[in-house]
Structure 1
Amino acid sequence: MDTEEFMWKTIYEKLQKQQSVEQQEHDQRIQQVDGGFFERFGSLLRESAEIAKEQEQKEQIECAEQAAKVITKIEEETEEDEEKKVKSDEENEEEEIAPSDTEDNKADYIAVGWNIDDLYLEILYEILHNVGCDVSYDIGQTALFSYIQDAFKMSNEKHEELLAKAEQKEAPDILLNVEIIEAKDIAPKDSSGFTDPFVTLYLTSNSSHRYNTSVKTETLNPVWEEHFALPVTDKSIEDTLCLEVWDFDPAESVREKLGKMFQVKGIKGVRKFVKEVAVTATTGQHTNELVGMARIPLKTIPASGMTMWYSLDKKNKLTRQGVVKVHLAFGSEKNQQVAAQEHRHLLRILLLHELESSQVSPYWWCGNFSGQAEAIITQHSVQSGLTVTDVALSQFAVYSSIHRDHPLNFALFSNLIDKLIKPIQTMTVSEEEAKLFWDSVKRLLPSCFATIRKIRKKCPNEKATLKMIKEVLKILSQLITIDPPENFNLFPANLYGWLSYAGEGPNCDINATLRDAISQGASDWFNYILENNQTSDNSEEGKLQNMLKIIQLVRVDLQRAIEYYDRMFQEIMNFQYAKCLYILYQVRIATMVEPEVVTMCKSLKTINYDWNCFSDSEANEPLALGTKLFELYLALQRFVVLGQGLCPADYESFHIRNFYDWFHGGVTQWLDIAVFKALKRIEKAVELDNLKPVDNTVKFSSSALDTLTIFHQIKIFWDQLNWPDVEGSYTFIAKIIDDICRCCVFYADRTSQRVEGLGDRVDVYEKRFEVTSEWCLAINNIDYVRQSLKPFTDKLGMEDVIQQLSELKSPLDAQRCQHTLNNVIENSIDTVRNKIIELLETVTNKMSPAMKRLLVEGAELFSQDSNSIDKVMRYLDNNLATLHEHLSEDNFNRILEIIWENLAEILSDLIQSNIDKRRPPSFFANLRNTLQLMVKCFKQSEGDSECDQLKKVEYLLFINGLETSELIHQVHLDRWREQQNIKQGPFGELTVRAKFEGNVLFVEVMNARNLHPMDSNGLCDSFVKVCLLPEEKFTNIQKPKTQTQNKTQFPLYDETFKINLTSEQKNIKDGLLLFSIRDKDLFGMNTQFIGEAFLHFNEIAQSTESIESHPQLQLPIHRPTNLNTDLMKALESRQGDKLAKEFVKKFKQKMVKETN
C-alpha cells in the first residue's frame, strides 16, 4: 500500500481510535455546522448498510443451515421411518391448505346405490374362504368379523343373517399364479462346465399335472420370466408347490458327442464326457438329469403374494445346487369390472371408517390401514382376481375423492401414479379406466396447486411441509409424462380463476399452471405484506421507511425460496422457483418504489450559493429526506444484485435494474448540498483550528484532518452508491473531483487568511517578523490536503470508469474525458501548490529586511566586535529553528530554496550598488564572509545545498573581494582552464618539456607547428618568452626567452632553461608557466603577439632524470576571446586601479583579430 496515498486515511483511523474528550468536543462543534451531514451520509450510512447486509447474510446462513438440516433428514428418511410418523401440529391448517375451489360432487364415480348388503355378504364370504397365510396366523376370523361389522355399521341381527348366507355358499375357485423369474449358481451337469436348465412345477395334490419352462442352453444363471396358473382344488389339505430344475440332454449320436470333445473343461468334465459317450454308445438313451428341487407349502404364501429366492436341494447332496427366484400369488376368475367396483366401494367404506376412528390429521394418512382392514382388502383383491394396476387405480380414484374433504398425504398419490404411469402410457387399461384416472387427477390437482400457492402459510423449516411440497412436485412431474385424453380439460376456468391461460381449447399445460400458481401465490403474499404493513405516517420519511420494510420482507421470502424450495423445484420439475418469484417481485417493487422516489427527488430544493459568500439560512438547509432515501437505494441495490445471480439471462430485461435512474436527481442534489456544506464546514474548521499538531507524530493541525474527513465521507457515500451506469458515473465523478478540487483551493485561501498578521512584532526599537509554528502548520496543512487530492481522486474509481467508457464509446472519447479530469486535478494541485509557495515567499519576504541588514552590517563591521550582528544572527537562527521543527521536510527544503533565491537577489543588488560606489575589495570579502556565516546558519544538515544563483553571487563576492594581483591571476587560471577544452590550437601548437628537480625548474622549449603567419610573406619570425605567474610571487626571477627562428611556421627552438626557485615559490598554489609566442619585425624594433599557452605547476613532474626522458607536451596556442566575463568585469570596474587598467588594456590588445 502506497504510504503517501493512504497517509490521510491511516491518520484518520488512528485518531478515531484514540479520540480524547477534547477531540470529541471539537468534532461535535464542527458537526454542529451542518448537523453531522457528512457523517450521516458517509460512515453512518455505510454502517447502517453494513449492518443491514450482515443481518441479511446472517439470516441467509441461518436459513441455509435450517434448510440443510431438514432436507438432509428428508433425504435420509427411509420408507420404514415413514410408517412410524408421529402426528404433527397441522390440525389448524386444514382450512388454509385445502382447496376451496373444488368441483361440486354432482355424480360420485362410486355407485352410492350399490347394495351394501351384497358387498357385506361378499366380504364375509371371502373371510370364511381366505387364501394365503395372513389371516390364519396373524388375525382371527372373529376379529375380522367384528371390524367389518363396525366399518359397515351393521346390526348384530343383520350380521348373523348375512354370515349364515355366506357359510352356505360354495368355496370359490382359486388359482396359484406362479412366475419363474430366474436362477443363479446352477450346478454344472455337462462336460463343458455348463448346464441346459429348465424348470418343472406342479402341486403335490395333482403331481400328474406338470408345467415346464423353456430350456436355457449353456448357462449357470438362466433367466426365464415365464408365468403359470395352477388351480388349487382342495384348500383343506396341506398342499405344496414343487419346483424341479433339470438339465436337458439333447438326442445326439456318439459321433456328435465326440465332436464336442474340445469343449470339455476340467477333470470332472472329462469324467462326465466319457460317461455320456459310454451311455450313448451302449444304450442309445438320452435322459435329463435333475439339478435340484424346492418345495413351497401353500400355507406359507401370503394373500398379497410374495417374491422369494429358494434353494435347490438334491438327495445325497450336502451342498445346495443353486437358487431359484419365483413370484407367488393367489387369484380368482371374477368379473373384472364388477370386482373393481366392489373394491372401490370397499376401500371408500374402510378408509372413512379408519379416518373417523383414528382421527388422523390432515395430510398425514399415507395408505397404511389397520391390520384387519389390510387383511380384508387383500383378500378381496386376491379372490376377485384384481391386478396390481386394478388395485392401484381403485385406490387412486377413492383416495383422490376422499382427499377433497379430508386431505391425505401427497406421497400416497405420487406412489400410486408411479404404478399407473406405464399402464396409462402403454394404453393397457380400458378407455373407461383411463377416464377414471384422469377424472381422479382432475380432482387431485386443485389441492396440489393450492398447496403451492399457499406455501408461505406453512413453516418452511418443518420437515412435513418440505416433504409435502416434494410429493406435490413429484405428482406434477409424473403427470407431465402422460398425455390426457383428447378434448380433456384438466384445468377448467371455474376452478382456476387465477390462471393466465387465454386459449380457446382445453387447458392441460401443467408447467404453465405451475408458473401461474407460483406467481399468484407470490402476488397474494406481496398483497398480504402491503395490507399488513400499512403506515399511518404519510410523510416522505415514513413512506421510505415502509418501502424499506416491504423490500426486506420480500427478500426474506426469496431467501427462503432459495434455501428450501429452489433446488427441489429444479431437480423434480426443472423449474426455477426462486427466479419465478423474483421476476414477479421485481415488477411489483419497481411499480411501488419508482413513482414515489422520482417524485421525491424532483421535489428536492436546489441550493444556489456563491463560493465566496454564504448565508446562514442556506447553511441550515437540511436534505429533507435524511438518509432513508439512500438506505432505500442501497436496499434496492442489494435486491438487484440478488436478481443478477438468480436470473443472469433475463437480468437485462428487468425494469428494476435501472433503479439508479430514479435516484439521479437525488444524488445530484446531494452533491450540490455536500459541496456547499463542505465549504461551510471547512470555513468553520479553519476558524476553530488552534494551529497546533493533532498528534506528536504529525505536523498538521485539526483543520487539515477535518477537511480530509469531509473528503473521506464523500468517498464513502460514493462507494456505497456503486453507480452502475458508466456515463452517469463519469458525470458524478467529474463533479465530485471538481468540487473537491475547489474545496482544496478554498481551504488554502481560508488557511492563508487565517495566518495573516501572525508573527509581526513591533516595539520601540524596530518592526520585525518572527516565524511562528502557526505559519508552519498552516503551510503543512495546505500541503497535506494537496497531497491527498490525487490519491483521493484515484480511489473514486476514475480509471475503471474511463476504461468502461473506452469500451462503451471509443478510446478517443475516453481519452478526452481522462484529459478533462486530469486537467481539473492538475490545475487544482498547481493552484494549491502556488498558494503554498506564496505563503513560503511571504515568510521569506518578511525575513528579507533582517537578512539584508545582517549582510550590510557584516560587510562593514565584520572584523569588529558587533552586538548588532549577533542579534541579527540570533534572529535568523531562531526563525530557521522554528521552520525546521514545525515545517514538514518537503516544505522546509522548499522554503530554503526560496530563501536562497531571495538571498541571491539581495546580494546581487548589494554587489551592484557597492561596485557603483567603488567599495574596496575588503568590503566584498567581508560581505562574502558574512554570507557564509548566514549560509552555515541556514544549513541544517550536510545534505542541504544552496541554489545555483546563490553560488554565482558568492563567486562574484569572491572575485570582487580579491586584490587586483590576485584577480589578474584568476584571469590567467581561467585562461588555463579554457585551454583544457581546446582540441587544436587556432594559432598553432607549442611543444615543450618541463620538470622539477628539487627547487629547480627545467623548461625545454622544443618547437612550434602551424604558427599563425604574421608577415606579408605568410611566414613568421618567432620566439618564445617564458613567464612565471603570479608575477608578484616571482619578481626576482628573470623571464627567459628563446632565439628568434626566422621565416618559418614550424620553428625548431630546442632550448632548455634552468630556473632556480625557492621552496615557497615552487610550492605556490595554482602556479603557472606562461609561454608567450611573439613575432619580431624586420628591424627588430617591435614584436607582435601571436598567441600564448599555459602549463600548471601541477602538470610538471618532480624527477631527477634527464629532461629528455620526460614526455613531450603539445600545448595549443590561443588568444583571449571573451572580455565579458565576471573576472574581467571586476577588473574593469576598478577604474582607479592602475594595475587593473594596464592589465585590461593588454588583455584587449591580445584579443585583436588576425590580419589577412
Structure 2
Amino acid sequence: MTALLDLKSSVLRQVQRSQSLRSRRETPSTPSSPLTHCPGPLPTRVSEESMEFFERTSSILQKQESMLWTAQAESQRGASVVAPPLEHVDQAFISDHTSRRELDLLYEEAVYTVVNRVGVPSPEYISSEEEMFTYLRKVFDIGEEEHDIILQKVHESKRASFSLRVSVIKAKNLMAKDANGYSDPYCMLGLLLGQSPREAEEKKERKFSFRKRKEKLEKRASTKEVLAATCIQVTEVKPETLNPVWDAHFVFDIDDVHNDLLHLDIWDHDDDVSVAEACKKLNEVSGLRGMGRYFKQIAKSVRANGSASSGSEENADDFLGCINMPLNELPVNGFDKWFKLEPRSSASKVQGECHLIMKLFTNQRDTTLTKRETNVAIHKKLLTQILEYEHANVKREPYNWNGLVSPPAWTLLTHHAVQTDLSPLQQAIIRWQCYSSHHRGQRLCYSLLLRLLRAIDADWDPPAVRGDLERQLSDSFRLYTEHCLCLMKNMRQVFPCTSPAAITRFELMLRGVGYMQSMQAFKTVCPLRNELHMDITTVVKKGTAEWYENIISQYKPEEGSLEEQLKRLVHVLDAVCADAQKAHHTYNKLFHSAVKVDFFSVSYRQLEKLVADDVNIAMERVCGTLEQENSKLTQSMGETIFELFISLKILKGYREFLPLKDAKMLALTGFHNWFKSSIHKWLQIVHERSSDRIRRAVDMDKLEPMLQDKHSSSAEEVTACFSQVREIWSQLAWPDSAGAFIFVTRLTDNFCSEAVCYSEMITRKIERNQQGRDHKSLTGQTSFLPPLFFLHCFLSPCLLLPSPPPPAPRLPPYCLPLFHLSSAAAPTWGGSPYLPLPPSLSPSPPLSASCASP
C-alpha cells in the first residue's frame, strides 16, 4: 500500500515540474522536430526470448477462446464427413445366422405363400408369380433346380384352407320403422355358396335376402333352396336407435374363396319370436337335418308369430337394408370401411350405412414349418432373412437406412401376415423385434426404430400379448436397452461432436430410449426396469471414468521428468476442459430433453474429482522440489505451471453451469493453494522477462523526426508490456484476498523498478544521441511518459482487488495525448494488433490526490 502511494506522489510531482502537457498538445508539430516516432512497423523481434515468452503467455491466457475456435472449426470440418464412426458393440448382442436347412424350410414357406395368394392386390404389390420367385431365389440364394424341386413339393401339398373374419361394428342413419320414430335393428349375415360362372350370369341381377315374403317362400321346393348358406350368424338387437353399435365379431369357414359371397341383412325387430331368437339356437343343431329344421324355424318366424293367425304379416320383422360382398373382391389386407345399404328389390326403400371389417386368413397350411412352429415365429424368420438381403443392397448411406423394402418383399410379407392371421399388434411387435435385432449388427436409422415403437404403443392391448410373445417382446426391449446403454458409455467415440451426422443419430437414439421408457408396453413386460434413467446415470459415470483412464494412458503423465509430467498433465487437463465444453454445449441438451438426465453434472463432477486428485499429487511433488535449498524455478517450468493453473481455472469455471447444491462441495474449490510457492517464483520470471523486454525496446528505439506521432516506439512497447503483465494478474484471479495483497505488493515493486529503469535508460539514450542539441526542445515535443501514467492511472487501482477487476479508470484530459493511437497506426505484437490502453478510456476531470489513493 505504501509503495503505491509513494509511486503516485512521485508521478504527480513529475507532472507538476514538467512543461504543461496541455500547452504541448496545442503546439503544432513542425518538420524540424528533432525526435518523433517512426510510422513504420516495430521490429518483428524486439527481444527473442522475452517476446517469445510473452507470446506463449498470451496464448495460454487465450486458451479458452482457442478451444472454442477449435471446436467450431472441427464441427465445420465434420459437416463434410459422409458417415459417422462405427458403433461397435458387444458380440453377445448379435444374433446367430440361420443354417442352410432352416433356410430351405423357410423358402418352402415363402413359395407356399406365393402359390396360395388371395385378395385383390394393391398397385404397390407384385402380381407376377414368376417375378416373385425370381426375387425369392436371390434372397435365399437358391438355384433354379432347387427352386423347381421345392415348387413341385408345394403344388403336391394340400392347398390352404381359408376363413373369413367379419366384424360388424355399427350402422348409421337407418330408416325408422316404429311409431316412436326409431327402429330396433339387428344384423343377420352368412356366406352364400359359390356358383358356377353360368349361374352367376343368370342371377346377376337378382338380389338375395335372408327374409322373403310369404308368397315367394311357398314357391320354393325346399328350405335348402330357400337359404343357400353354409352358416348364419346374428347380432344382438339394439332397441330404439337409428345408429346402432354392435361391435360383434364372427368367423366363417370358406369352401370356395374365389366364388363365395358374404351377405348381410339388417332388420327391425318387431315380433316376439323373430329371426333373432331363432338364430340364437344355431349352436344347438348339427348336421344337414338339423340345419334344415333350423331353416324351417326361420321361415316360420318370417311367415308369422307363433300365436298369430296364418297369413298375417303384422308381426314380421321389417327389412332395413342388405350388403352383398363377393370374396374375390376383397383386397389383400381386407376391408375396413363403411358400406352403403342396398335394397332387396326395386320396391324396397332403405337408407344408411354399415361399418364392416373383413379379412381373409388361412386356417390350415400344409408346410413343414407350420407343423413345427407358430405363425409368429415363422413370420419373424421370414422378415429377418428379407432384412438381411434388402439392407445388403442399400448403396447410399446404409447406416441411415429407413427400413423400406422392395415391392416383391412387401408383397410377400403382406400376404404371409394375412394368411397366417397376424393382428396389427403382432405384426408391429415382430417388425420391432426383427429391426432392433438387425440394428445391433448393422446400423439402421434411429427414426425407424422410434416409429416401430410408436406402432406398438398405438395398438397396445395387454390381453392380446401373452406367453411367448410377451417374453419375446420383453427380451427385445432388454437387448435394445442394453445395446443403447453400451453406446452411451462409449458416446465420446461413437457419437463425437465433430460429426453432425453422429450427433443426429445420438439424439434420435436417446429419444427412442426415452419414448420406450414411457410406453405402457415397456412398463407391462419389463416391470423391473421402469427406472431407466438410473441405469443411464450409471453408464454415464462408468463411461466418463473409462474415457479419463484412456486419456491418462494416452498422455502418460506419470512418465518422464517432473516438468515433462506437468506438461503431459496439461494435455490431460486440456482434453478434460474440451470434454466439459462439449458436455455443456451439446450432450447435456440431448440427455436432458430426451431422458431427463443431467449429463453435464454427472460427468463434470466425476472428471473434476479425478483431475483434482492427479494435479494435487503432482503439485505436492513440485512444491517439495521448490522448497529445497538453492532450488530455482526455470522459465520453462514456470510457464508449464502457469499453464496448468490457467487450465484448472478454466475447468473450475464450468461449475457455474451446475445446480447450486452441486457447486458447493467440489474438489477444485481451493486448488489455488497448491500454487502459492510456485506463483511467487513465476512472478519473478515475469519481472525478469519484462526488464529484458524494456532494455531491448530502448536499444531498438530509433529517434527519427516525423510530422504527427508524439510517442517513441519504446514508450509504446513498455506500455504494452505493462498491459500484458496486468492481464496475467487479471487472469490469475487469485480468490484469496490475503494472498492477493502479497502478490499485488510484489507486482507493484516490479512495476516501479521497471518504470524507473525505463526512464533512466531512455534519458541516457537521448543524451547520447542528442549531444550538442537542445534537450528541452526534444522533451517539449516528444512523450516518453506513457508507462508512468499507465502505472499511475490505470494499473494500480486494479491490482489492489482480486478478480473480477473493476472498470478501468478514466484518464485526466492532459494525459490523453500520451495514450492516443489511431487504429491504422496501431503497432503489432505477436501477430495481432494491440493498443497501449483499452479504447474504453475517455476524458474525465483531473485525477486528484484524494481520488487517486487506493
* TM-score of the two chains, using structure 2 as the length reference: 0.61
Q: 1:172 — aligned with what? A: 161
Give the stretch that moved more between structures: 158-167 or 421-430.
421-430
Counterpart code for 1:229: F
Deviation per residue, 1:106-152 (Å, 9 max, x gap) = xx9x99999976x7776666544433223997324455566667749
Counterpart code for 1:177: V
Cα distance change, pair 416–653 in 1 and its aligned pair in 2 (3 A): same
Alignment partners' CA distance in 2, 1:721 and 1:655: 19
Alignment partners' CA distance in 2, 1:122 and 1:44: 74
Cα distance change, pair 525–213 in 1 and its aligned pair in 2 (3 A): farther
Q: 2:836 — aligned with what? A: none
Does residue 576 of structure 1 match 2:579?
no
Does residue 36 of structure 1 match 2:50?
yes
Out of 133, 140, 144, which is 2:120 matched to? 133
Deviation per residue, 1:213-262 (Å, 9 max, x gap) = 8869899xx795824325263545556667899999999xxxxxxxxxxx
Contact conserved, 1:121 with 1:165, CA < 8 A, in 2?
Answer: no
Q: 2:90 — aligned with what? A: 99
Cα distance change, pair 393–627 in 1 and its aligned pair in 2 (3 A): same
Q: 1:513 — aligned with what? A: 535
Offset, 1:715: 1.0
Out of 768, 773, 776, which is 2:776 matched to? 773
Deviation per residue, 1:368-409 (Å, 9 max, x gap) = 454444444433433333333333444555556666666666
Counterpart code for 2:675: F
Does residue 792 of structure 1 match 2:795?
yes
- Secondary structure of 1:155's partner? helix
Higher radius of gyration, 1 or 2: 1
Does residue 228 of structure 1 match 2:249?
yes
Alignment partners' CA distance in 2, 1:21 and 1:775: 18
Out of 378, 383, 386, which is 2:414 matched to? 378
Alignment partners' CA distance in 1, 2:88 and 2:335: 39
Cα distance change, pair 677–721 in 1 and its aligned pair in 2 (3 A): same
Contact conserved, 2:209 with 2:322, CA < 8 A, in 1?
Answer: no
Contact conserved, 1:187 with 1:321, CA < 8 A, in 2?
Answer: yes
Contact conserved, 2:698 with 2:762, CA < 8 A, in 1?
Answer: yes
Alignment partners' CA distance in 2, 1:696 and 1:432: 93
Cα distance change, pair 24–68 in 1 and its aligned pair in 2 (3 A): closer
* TM-score of the two chains, using structure 1 as the length reference: 0.47
Measured on the aligned residues, the alpha-carbon RMSD in Å equals 6.3
Deviation per residue, 1:67-106 (Å, 9 max, x gap) = 9999xxxxxxxxxxxxxxxxx868x94xx6242345998x
1:134-173 to structure 2, matched below 5 A, reads 134=121, 138-144=126-132, 151=140, 155=146, 158-167=149-158, 169=159, 172-173=161-162
Give the stretch that moved more between structures: 408-417 or 384-393.
408-417
Offset, 1:627: 3.6
Cα distance change, pair 624–772 in 1 and its aligned pair in 2 (3 A): same
Does residue 330 of structure 1 match 2:374?
no
Q: 1:391 — aligned with what? A: 427
Alignment partners' CA distance in 2, 1:199 and 1:693: 115
Alignment partners' CA distance in 1, 2:103 and 2:787: 103
Q: 1:714 — aligned with what? A: 725
Alignment partners' CA distance in 2, 1:146 and 1:739: 90
Does residue 348 of structure 1 match 2:362?
no
Offset, 1:787: 7.6
Alignment partners' CA distance in 1, 2:734 and 2:270: 89
1:718-797 to structure 2, matched below 5 A, reads 718-737=729-748, 739-740=750-751, 773=776, 785=788, 788-796=791-799
1:662-677 to structure 2, matched below 5 A, reads 662-675=674-687
Contact conserved, 1:601 with 1:665, CA < 8 A, in 2?
Answer: yes
- Secondary structure of 1:175's partner? strand
Offset, 1:174: 0.7
Counterpart code for 2:801: M
Counterpart code for 1:99: D
Out of 602, 608, 621, which is 1:586 matched to? 608
Does residue 638 of structure 1 match 2:626?
no
Q: 1:257 — aligned with what? A: none
Deviation per residue, 1:57-76 (Å, 9 max, x gap) = 33444577799999xxxxxx
Contact conserved, 1:214 with 1:224, CA < 8 A, in 2?
Answer: no
Contact conserved, 1:634 with 1:721, CA < 8 A, in 2?
Answer: yes
- Secondary structure of 2:359's partner? strand
Contact conserved, 2:424 with 2:459, CA < 8 A, in 1?
Answer: no
Structure 2: 5+ residue stretches without partners: 1-10, 13-20, 26-35, 193-207, 211-231, 273-312, 807-844, 847-854
Alignment partners' CA distance in 1, 2:103 and 2:75: 56
Counterpart code for 2:331: P
Alignment partners' CA distance in 2, 1:631 and 1:216: 88
Offset, 1:451: 2.9
- Secondary structure of 1:348's partner? helix
Sequence identity (%) = 18
- Secondary structure of 2:161's partner? coil
Deviation per residue, 1:292-338 (Å, 9 max, x gap) = 9887654454333454466789999xxx9888765443345579997
Does residue 429 of structure 1 match 2:432?
no
Cα distance change, pair 365–58 in 1 and its aligned pair in 2 (3 A): closer
Offset, 1:573: 1.2
Alignment partners' CA distance in 2, 1:787 and 1:468: 53
Cα distance change, pair 45–675 in 1 and its aligned pair in 2 (3 A): closer
Contact conserved, 1:607 with 1:672, CA < 8 A, in 2?
Answer: no
Structure 1: 5+ residue stretches without partners: 12-17, 71-87, 252-282, 491-505, 609-616, 762-769, 804-889, 892-1156
Contact conserved, 2:523 with 2:530, CA < 8 A, in 1?
Answer: no
Deviation per residue, 1:792-818 (Å, 9 max, x gap) = 222447397799xxxxxxxxxxxxxxx
Cα distance change, pair 544–21 in 1 and its aligned pair in 2 (3 A): farther
Out of 655, 659, 663, which is 2:667 matched to? 655
Contact conserved, 2:75 with 2:500, CA < 8 A, in 1?
Answer: no
Contact conserved, 2:719 with 2:787, CA < 8 A, in 1?
Answer: no
- Secondary structure of 1:131's partner? coil
1:623-634 to structure 2, matched below 5 A, reads 623-625=635-637, 627-634=639-646
Offset, 1:478: 1.0
Counterpart code for 1:663: F
Q: 2:851 — aligned with what? A: none
1:829-840 to structure 2, matched below 5 A, reads none
Cα distance change, pair 731–196 in 1 and its aligned pair in 2 (3 A): farther
Contact conserved, 1:701 with 1:777, CA < 8 A, in 2?
Answer: no
Counterpart code for 2:376: H
Contact conserved, 1:127 with 1:144, CA < 8 A, in 2?
Answer: yes
Contact conserved, 1:691 with 1:777, CA < 8 A, in 2?
Answer: no
1:934-1083 to structure 2, matched below 5 A, reads none
Contact conserved, 1:533 with 1:546, CA < 8 A, in 2?
Answer: yes
Q: 2:618 — aligned with what? A: 596
Contact conserved, 2:715 with 2:785, CA < 8 A, in 1?
Answer: yes
- Secondary structure of 2:360's partner? strand
Alignment partners' CA distance in 2, 1:358 and 1:791: 69
Alignment partners' CA distance in 2, 1:363 and 1:758: 76
Cα distance change, pair 312–485 in 1 and its aligned pair in 2 (3 A): closer
Offset, 1:784: 7.7
- Secondary structure of 1:448's partner? helix
1:231-630 to structure 2, matched below 5 A, reads 231=252, 233-236=254-257, 298-305=327-334, 307-308=336-337, 327-331=357-361, 341-349=374-382, 351-352=384-385, 355-356=388-389, 359-360=392-393, 368-397=404-433, 414-420=450-456, 426=462, 428-455=464-491, 456-457=493-494, 461=499, 463=501, 466-467=504-505, 470-471=508-509, 473-475=511-513, 477-479=515-517, 510-532=532-554, 538=560, 543=565, 545-557=567-579, 565-597=587-619, 599-600=621-622, 603=625, 623-625=635-637, 627-630=639-642
Alignment partners' CA distance in 2, 1:44 and 1:695: 36
